[in-house]
Amino acid sequence: MKRGIGVLVLGFAALALPGGCAAQRAVDGDHLAASGSGEVFYQFYNAKPESGVERTPLVFVHGWACDHRHWGAQVEGFAHDRAMLVIDLPGYGQSSDGGAPHTMDLYAAGVASAMDDAGLDRAVLVGHSMGTAVIRQFYRHHPERTAGLVAVDGALQMESPEEMEEAAAPLFTDQWQEYAVRMFDGMSSEMAHDADKALVREVLLGTTRDSVRGGFASMIDPAIWTADPIEAPLLLTITEAPWWTDTYKEYVRTLAPGVRIEVFPGASHFLMMDQPERFNRVLEAWLEQRGL
């Protein structure tokens, strides 16, 4: 299976503090932020660091036909000592798209709206699958707000838009939901826990037809696959899937020479759910290494 198909379907520090914010932060809990003509749902955790040292906030961005619930193990692992925002992208979960066409710019604007509403000027953005393309687009528009990027089994290169478009064709038929379920079943069949498999399927089945189709269409837009450099710190976490070739890794190194690449043997596409303890350790170690 080609990398583009196998992966993408599913992706001014204030006050001299690394993740500081000029605005007052939101209170813990559920929030809705106005974003364009719609509203973006997010959960915010404004923990006081146990160490007393301010740490850069984390913003978690889900993938295609997913939502904020896929980050449950990261909420548990990180919400105790740093501010953290977990978002539903426009048109997914509890967020509305306001009737706007689904594009990477729409999704990136949703992330920015949630950060604005939460009072975060700058953060490390973590994107799973399609979420990787979203956080990269956010970085293009807001490099000064991007303290770092973490790609979770999501691509930074698409080899064949034509093959992606061909693969997406069944999503534009009356059998779109059955096809999407088969796709997700293939990507989640190796997941370690039945509860996680059930959540993945539940969220998929709760995603609207327009969001399923719009999300896929946003991923095959050639404009988002330019080879512009990534100067923010980058962590790449990937499975042992065959599309993550040495050639691809070398390409990523041309984009971000200081990238750190971590492979998760035995994990499914949803590696942050499959191997949460290891994923959290890898992320924490990288954050500490980068002074974040």
Give the model's confidence band at 12: pLDDT under 50 very low, under 70 low, under 90 confident, else very high.
very low
User: How is residue 234 written in tokens?
Assistant: 């980058």
| β-strand pairing of 234-238 with 260-263 | parallel
Query: What pLDDT does 268 receive?
Result: 92
Between 182 and 27, whose confidence is greater?
A: 182
Residues 206 and 199: their CA atoms lie apart, in Å, by: 10
Q: Is the pLDDT of residue 1 over 70?
A: no
For position 153, what pLDDT does the model report? Answer: 96
**Domains of the chain, start order:** 3-289 (3.40.50.1820)
Residue carrying structure tokens 């923990």: 47
Q: Is the Cβ–Cβ distance between 85 and 111 less than 8 Å?
A: no
Q: Which tokens is 115 given?
A: 């950060």
Return the percentage of the chain with pLDDT > 70, whole number.
Answer: 90
Query: Which amino acid, residue 36?
Result: G
Q: Find out whether 88 and 40 touch, Cβ atoms under 8 Å.
A: yes
pLDDT band, very low/low/confident/very high, at 52 (cuts 50, 70, 90): low
For range 214-231, the mean pLDDT: 93
Convert the pLDDT of each residue in 245-288 to its tens digit: 999 999 999 999 999 999 999 999 999 999 999 999 999 999 99
pTM here is 0.89
Please compute the mean of the pLDDT values over residues 172-193 and round it to a whole number: 81
Q: 159 pLDDT exceeds 90?
A: no
- Tally the C-alpha atoms within 13 A of residue 26's C-alpha that lie toward its C-beta: 24
Backbone angles phi, psi at 211, to 5 degrees: -75, -40
Q: What is the pLDDT of residue 19?
A: 42
- Comparing CA positions, the residue from 257, 61, 253, 222 lying closest to residue 152 is 61
C-alpha separations of 134 from 62, 102, 150, 225 in Å? 9, 12, 11, 11
